[in-house]
Amino acid sequence: MAFDLGDEQLLQVAQQCVNSAEKHLFVVGPSRSGKSTRLPVILAALSGKRIVSVQPDGWAARYHAEWVQNSVTAGTFDGKRPSVGYYADHDDMPTDFIPQYDVNYMSYRWMYRMVVAINASEPHTGLDDDDYARASAAQKKQDLEDKRRQHGNLISHVILDEVHEQSVAHELGYLAVYAATCGALQPPIGVFEGTKIILATAYQDNTPFFYRFGLSKGEVTQQTITMETGLAPTTGNEIQERFLDEDDGNAALDEHSRAVRRARDILKANPNARILLFMDTKNSSRNIARQGGLKAIDLETESGRNQLASTQDSGVTILATPSFASRIPVEGITDVICSSSLLHPCLHPLLNREILSGLRHDLWHLTWAKNHLDRSCDSPTIHYMFPPSEHSKMCRASHPRWFFAGDLVDILLGLIRLCPEYALPNPTHELMRYKIPMIQGNRALRQLMVFPEMLEHVISTTQGLVPTISHYQISSSYRMPLMLKLVDRCGLDRRQAFFFGRLEDIMINDPQGVTNDRFVGMVAVAIAVFDESPILRQRDTENPDPNTTESFKRLQDVLYLGKYQDYTSDAWINAMVWMDIKQRAAISGGEITSYSGDYHPVRKFKVDRIPLLAAEAKLRLLARMIDLDEESQDALCDGSFLEEVREFNKRVDDKALMAVEIVWTAYFEAYQYNSVFVEMDGANLKVTDISTHRETGCDPKHLAINLSEQAFFAKRRGKFGFYATGSILLGRGILRSVTVIPLEIVRKIMEGSEDGLGIRNLHEHLKLS
């Protein structure tokens, strides 16, 4: 049997993985060496069993599977062509899920769900005397055991790929695999004692193997397999690095504006350039419109990803979010443009809440970016949007950023869901690679204990008969299945899941039956989607706070939901504008992207192309996940829901108004810790964070609401100002977007709170210190 040099190296690695007596193996190889594509195929052929390759996200899993499927060379070994497939994150997963292909690609989120699903259901607690329920549970348990015996030795290797990323999703996937293979939990069907776990990376500098599976540094070194090249190209032109001058002379421009300007300059000098421009997702939503005339492929959208797979056009800019996980599947790249930092959740030391703040890249991040360049080009170049002095401040590597950042709470929630007895208040179990900071952890979990609670205490009694908290566990509330489904299959964060869980809670407990479940659900979907990805960006951020009524003359009757002006939000206005654009584009027969420069009736705003294009898919998926019918999904996606809102506002009565109040109440309860009070201080606006009584602000780039106008409405009714909240806090603790919360809602919630503090002591209710 003859192999080329690269395949021979991969064969040697695969043979070592098959023949090794070690349970855990570590593979290090350069980018494009075949670790993610060719190695699983060879392993399947040599072992005669199924292989599971776990990727950072669903898109990476899909891309690798389709690439292997479409390549006879990559998908065939020794005359054998194993079956290859992938699993999409939004798909349903049965409890007794079994990987169906010889080579199975899935995301870390999917792997986590596999382990949770097989362990989550307790068929019978012994407390239920219902004979039918007991018999049914016993039969399910027996069926599961029969299937496990039938398929017990199905999977020979589980590959945890791209482990250098060390994201929240990755860490939870790793914890799930570790717990299922060390005896703490039942493993998924097909995983058995002989199944080997392989961790693979191209970036060992980021210490991706630190304390994995409780192994020492020496044990990890002994069990590491290194390949020099594999299928990776070994020759090519030297990569050029270009920095900004220390004194660029354009201090007013942010990194993303500089990046767009640099892309224009590159294309002007080389019309055949093929540029990869890394742009933070959170930033791109408000900066991408500045690219103007760039011919671009947006990888934030499904259409952009499909376009990338079908074209190799030159003279194009490919826009991507730097995940620092899998290499983005782009070929022929002549230039890469890279910023110095990435927005990341961090714990604000004074607010004690999660904010989005820019964290400086590590040096290995820049290596990851450079690996996208095609070295066969004449002069492959990476353009840094920062000067050399910034480069000198960068670290070689760092611990996983979730460990010291705000999204630590997602690790805690995931661990509690997986192995409650191994999470707080017992964080030292060997499953965790890092000791959880107890004070920060307990403070963060407090936010999960409020309505709609996701956690509940498990109480134990000591020998002295003193009840104490043994550990936390996922709430047994009926709302939890919906909330967890939205987290697992839509990628919603815990606060968005709170919103929908609380919405369901209120509607189920509605004593008067006045709510229109369909309409309420559609409003909630629209708010959630455009809260995360607003399309509007102000042109003049030096003079924000436009007159909302004047700015959106075509939409005056839908800027507020119901008949009161304080039922509005930036997200709601964005949703109405998107639906107006969608309808007008359909009527004119034009493309929706024709409105990505200026929203023609509103010269004060630009419309960002990425969220504009991505919204339809997000609306449909979320609507489907909360069980809205196809007619409702279509109405959201084709913009006709706008006309339903118009009709609703025309005939709104007190009962209909209660439906509106339900949505705003649920939103406030989900995001109450970000609450502010807005008032006029003379001619100036004053925004105060309620829990800390610190003066803060709102991001002018996304502000669609006229705050002065809202303060005037409040004053007209004898109030000093109005309450507001939002889903995202930016670096200085300011709200990215604003949702007005009517005083009546705040008062009702506070009067019904257990502590009885009342609205005057709302700041005490919201304190997390």
Amino acid at 420: P
| Cβ neighbours of 129 (radius 10 Å) | 7
pLDDT at 126: 40
Alpha carbon separation from 732 to 346, 699, 722 (Å, rounded): 11, 10, 21
pLDDT at 279: 82
For 694-719, the DSSP string reads EEE-B-TTS--S-HHHHHHHHHHTT-
For 6-33, the DSSP string reads HHHHHHHHHHHHHH---SEEEEE--TTS
Contact 308, 287 (CB under 8 A): no
**What are the two backbone dihedrals, phi and then psi, of residue 64, each rounded to the nearest 5 degrees?**
-65, -45
pLDDT by 10-residue block (mean), the chain, 769 residues? 66 96 96 93 96 94 93 88 94 89 97 90 45 74 82 93 91 94 90 95 89 93 91 85 81 73 93 91 54 73 78 85 86 94 80 82 94 93 94 88 72 85 63 73 66 74 58 81 88 87 83 74 96 84 59 87 90 95 88 72 77 91 95 96 95 83 92 90 87 87 86 85 90 89 85 60 71
pLDDT at 47: 95
- Which tokens is 26 given? 């570590």
Report the C-alpha gap between 189 and 153 in whole angstroms.
9
Residues near 675 by beta carbon (within 8 Å), at least 6 away in sequence: 668, 689, 690, 691, 723, 724, 725, 741, 762, 766
| Exposure string for 21-59, b = 16+ CB within 10 A, e = fewer | eeebbbbbbbbbbbbbbbbbbbbbbbbebbbbbbbbbbb
Torsion of CA 129, 133, 136, 142, to 10 degrees: -50
pLDDT at 754: 56
- Which tokens is 341 given? 């930092």
pTM check: above 0.85: yes
Report the C-alpha gap between 196 and 175 in whole angstroms.
15
- Token pair 């017992």: residue: 426
Report the C-alpha gap between 696 and 353 in whole angstroms.
14
